[in-house]
């Protein structure tokens, strides 16, 4: 079931959506929530929260909404096309003024929709003295109409508002209860329109986290010492979260003057041995390119998070997209191969961020973690993530004592990894440089040296495959009519589409790729060769993953490219799958 709350900025829409997520999470449901905010900072504009709730793991947003809670009817009109035919709408039937038909929500609804009109504002004012509690009144009504145990909401309200003081908390609970009582009475004879949440409750403690929160938490848990960053949508929340938490763990957040100094300071820190990180988006990432390639050449670790958004250039700052793959893998001058990984959900945001520090250290290279606006801002409930000491362990390869006094920083080894001394260590003095250099580290432009060092660096990066997660297959069998490959947040939609297709009897499979570079060519190729068609849906125009791995298939891969600024809907992918199944070879 999908529940939306829609209102104008200032109506408490986001708070209401957050409470729905929390309450249903407390009730043991799987929850995936995603909000849209007005683009402007000032108080205008529409806010919509979407919460998809289920008793099984939710991996994607649905196309349609079962319940719409309207805190501003005129804004909510925009959400009407997304309602299912037999959905329900909770709205205020005693607004302060009369509404024209053209601006009325009720006028736009299809006849199958159940209307639950109640005087939300009056009830809130009556209960708590202020009309601002009407978002909570609406939640009370929601609880009554759909049979959700009210205590789940009361606990969520309590958790959220206790810090604001007793008066606020009590006022909010009163508003909530007023809505609950009214709806219980008025709608007691109405059949529950769509989804009976009774008897669906599981158990188990889960926390709600957004992608950004998971990343920040992972960095903290992994022992991040220094964060250098510059504000940019949608990465800013990571810096803000760490700004509060990191000092408590002996670390520091420094807002730098730009993205260039941010990545510069990260490299400087990691050169000196401290775990450091920065997070940015497309435009900032572009600025970091030069120093990233410096990190590649000088073999200095760094962790860079690129929270992708609509591009190119300033693009669409508050819209989601996955169009920085090329920039992440190839951006920058020279053959500057580096590690690029992309989580597909909130849990992976955590796990892969923890891992990124280890990868950076072991392979002495910048590691780029690609997320996107949707993944960064959506919330999921999951078991509270934690990192084991193994997962946090220092993966630096330090030089052996026997090389003291004759240390060659860039010694060419079989793995390509040269042990790295940290400043402050006696007997291992060296200079890291962005110039091509000999194994000792002195600048050198000779042909044989450049060949050899280029090979060494590439060998080293390709060796990371051993430590990078392999693609994961979800399929109904060996030979598949259609195989769908997804990366980033698109994978959730792919998985749901493929599962639905399999339920309908189609032989389909999904492949999840999280290691973008280097990528596991053999695994991908072998999957592709078992498929009649390979479909790669991506939220970018040019098909960037397809460009990267398409050649592994013995025929053309089929690209499904959308740059709508919104997440892929499973039904779009499903439609494509079904077309392909009929299409033959």
Partner 1 sequence: MNPEHCVIIGNGPAANEAALTLRGESRDLRITVIGQEPVRHYKAYLLPEYVSGKLAEDDLYVNPPADHRERDIKLRLGQKVETVSFDTREIILDHKEVVRFDSLIVAVGGIPRIPERLQVFSDLFLALKTLADARIWKQKLKDAETILMVGGDLTSLSFTKALLAMGKRVIFMINEDSFWPLRFDDEIRSQVTERLTAKGVEVLNRRTIKGLAGISENEVEIETDAEKLSVNAVGAFFGLVPNVKFLARSGLHIDRGILVDDYLRTRFAGVYAAGDCAQVYHPELRDYWVSIGYKNAWNLGKIAALNLIGGKIRAQAVAQSIFRVGGIAVNTSWWTEF
Partner 2 sequence: MKTPGKILAEKVKHIRDSNQFAVRSSALPTWCPGCGYFGIHHALSGCLKQMGMPLHEIVVVSGIGCAGRYPFFSNTYGLHTVHGRTLPVATGVKMANPGLTVYAVGGDGDGLAIGGGHLPHVIRRDVNINYLLFDNSMYGLTKGQPSPSSPVGTTTKASPFGTVDKPLNATLMALTYGIGFVARLFAGDPEGMRNAFVEGTRHNGFSLFHIYTTCVTFDKVNKTWDNLKRQIHPLPQNHDAGNLRKAFDAVLDDDFTTGIIFQKESA
Residues that bind partner 1 (CB under 8 A): 91-95, 97-101, 104, 106-107, 109-112, 114-115, 117, 189
Judged by CB under 8 A, how many residues of this single chain contact partner 2? 43
Of 81 and 312, the one with the shorter C-beta distance to partner 1 is 81
Tokens matching residue 415: 């793995």
Contact region for partner 2 (CB under 8 A) — 210-218, 288-296, 343-351, 550-558?
288-296
Residue 424 DSSP symbol? T
| CB nearer to partner 2: pick between 275 and 553 | 275
Residue 191 CA to residue 193 CA, distance in Å, equals: 6
Minimum distance between the CB of residue 92 and partner 1, rounded to whole angstroms?
Answer: 8
Binds 471, which of partner 2, partner 1, none (CB < 5 to 8 A, cut-off by type)?
Answer: none
In 3D, which of 241, 312, 332, 239 has the Cα closest to residue 278?
239
Pick from 83, 298, 468, 513 the residue near partner 2 by CB under 8 A.
Answer: 298
Restricting to residues 384-423, which ones interact with partner 2 according to CB under 8 A? 422-423
Report the length, in residues, of the chain.
585
Q: Give me Rg for the CA atoms of the chain.
A: 26
As measured in angstroms, the least distance from the Cβ of 69 to partner 1 is 15
Q: What is the distance between the terminal CA atoms of the chain, rounded to a whole angstrom?
A: 37
- Rank residues 33 and 193 by Cβ distance to partner 1 and give the closer one: 193
Contact between 226 and partner 2 per CB under 8 A: yes
- Candidates 115, 383, 386, 435; binder of partner 2 (CB under 8 A) is 435
Interface segment toward partner 2; rule CB under 8 A; list 187-195, 211-219, 424-432, 487-495 = 424-432
Nearest to 152 by CA among 185, 380, 117, 160: 160
Question: CA–CA separation, 171 vs 123, rounded Å?
Answer: 12
The 10 Å Cβ neighbour count of residue 186 is 15
* 92/538 with CB nearer partner 1: 92
**Alpha carbon distance 343, 377 (integer Å):** 14
CB 376 within 8 A of CB 34: no
Residue 165: partners with Cβ closer than 8 Å, 6 or more residues away: none
Partner whose footprint covers residue 435, from partner 1, partner 2, none (CB < 5 to 8 Å by kind): partner 2
227 binds partner 2 (CB under 8 A): no
Residue that the structure tokens 């779009």 belong to: 572
- The footprint of partner 2 on residues 166-225 (CB under 8 A) is 225
261 binds partner 2 (CB under 8 A): yes
Q: Is 457 in the site for partner 2 (CB under 8 A)?
A: no
Q: Is 262 in the site for partner 2 (CB under 8 A)?
A: yes
- Alpha-carbon distance 38 to 211, whole Å? 20
186 by DSSP, 3-state: which?
helix
Does residue 87 sit in helix, strand or coil?
Answer: strand
Strand 65-70 to 2-8 pairing: parallel
**Residue 110's binding partner out of partner 2, partner 1, none, with CB under 5 to 8 Å set by partner kind:** partner 1
Residues that bind partner 2 (CB under 8 A): 225-226, 228, 252, 254, 256-258, 260-262, 264-274, 276, 290-291, 294, 298, 422-435, 442-443
């Amino acid at each position: 079931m999908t529940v939306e709350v829609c209102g104008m900025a200032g109506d408490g829409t986001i708070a209401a959506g957050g409470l729905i997520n929390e309450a249903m999470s407390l009730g043991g449901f799987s929850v995936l929530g995603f909000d849209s905010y007005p683009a402007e900072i000032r108080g205008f504009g529409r806010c919509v929260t979407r919460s998809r709730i289920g008793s099984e793991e939710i991996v994607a947003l649905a196309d349609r909404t079962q319940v719409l809670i309207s805190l501003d009817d005129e804004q909510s009109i925009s959400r009407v096309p997304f309602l299912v035919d037999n959905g329900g709408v909770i709205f205020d039937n005693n607004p302060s003024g009369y509404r024209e038909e053209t601006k009325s929500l009720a006028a736009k609804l299809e006849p199958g929709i159940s209307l639950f009109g109640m005087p939300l504002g009056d009830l809130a004012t009556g209960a708590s003295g202020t009309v601002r509690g009407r978002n909570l009144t609406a939640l009370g009504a929601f609880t009554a109409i759909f049979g959700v145990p009210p205590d789940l909401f009361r606990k969520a309200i309590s958790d959220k508002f206790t810090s604001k003081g007793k008066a606020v908390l009590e006022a909010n609970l009163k508003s909530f209860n007023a809505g609950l009582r009214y709806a219980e009475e008025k709608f007691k004879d109405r059949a529950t329109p769509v989804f009976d949440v009774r008897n669906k409750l599981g158990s188990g403690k889960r926390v709600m986290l957004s992608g950004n929160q998971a990343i920040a938490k992972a960095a903290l848990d992994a022992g991040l010492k220094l964060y250098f960053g510059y504000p940019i949508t949608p990465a800013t929340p990571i810096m803000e979260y760490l700004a509060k938490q990191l000092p408590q763990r002996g670390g520091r957040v420094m807002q730098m003057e730009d993205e260039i100094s941010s990545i510069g300071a990260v490299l400087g820190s990691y050169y000196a041995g401290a775990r450091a990180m920065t997070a940015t988006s497309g435009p900032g990432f572009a600025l970091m390119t030069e120093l990233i390639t410096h990190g590649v050449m000088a073999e200095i670790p760094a962790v860079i998070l690129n929270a992708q958004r609509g591009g190119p250039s300033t693009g669409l700052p508050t819209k989601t997209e996955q169009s920085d793959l090329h920039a992440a893998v190839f951006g920058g001058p020279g053959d500057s191969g580096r590690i690029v990984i992309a989580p597909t959900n909130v849990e992976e945001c955590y796990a892969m961020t923890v891992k990124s520090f280890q990868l950076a250290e072991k392979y002495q290279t910048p590691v780029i973690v690609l997320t996107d606006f949707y993944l960064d801002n959506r919330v999921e409930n999951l078991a509270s993530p934690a990192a084991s000491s193994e997962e946090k362990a220092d993966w630096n390869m330090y030089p052996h004592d026997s090389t003291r006094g004759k240390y060659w920083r860039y010694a060419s080894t079989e793995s390509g990894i040269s042990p790295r001394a940290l400043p402050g260590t006696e007997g291992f003095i060296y200079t890291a440089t962005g110039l091509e250099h000999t194994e000792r580290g002195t600048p050198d432009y000779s042909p044989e040296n450049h060949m050899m060092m280029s090979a060494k660096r590439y060998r080293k990066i390709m060796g990371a495959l051993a430590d990078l997660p392999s693609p994961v297959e979800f399929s109904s069998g060996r030979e598949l009519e259609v195989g769908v490959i997804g990366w980033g947040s698109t994978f959730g939609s792919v998985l749901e589409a493929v599962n639905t297709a399999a339920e309908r009897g189609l032989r389909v499979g999904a492949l999840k790729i999280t290691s973008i570079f280097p990528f596991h060519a053999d695994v991908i190729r072998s999957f592709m060769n078992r498929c009649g068609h390979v479909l790669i849906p991506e939220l970018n125009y040019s098909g960037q993953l397809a460009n990267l791995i398409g050649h592994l298939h013995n025929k053309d891969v089929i690209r499904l490219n959308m740059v709508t600024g919104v997440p892929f809907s499973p039904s779009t992918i499903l439609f494509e799958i079904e077309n392909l199944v009929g299409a033959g070879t």
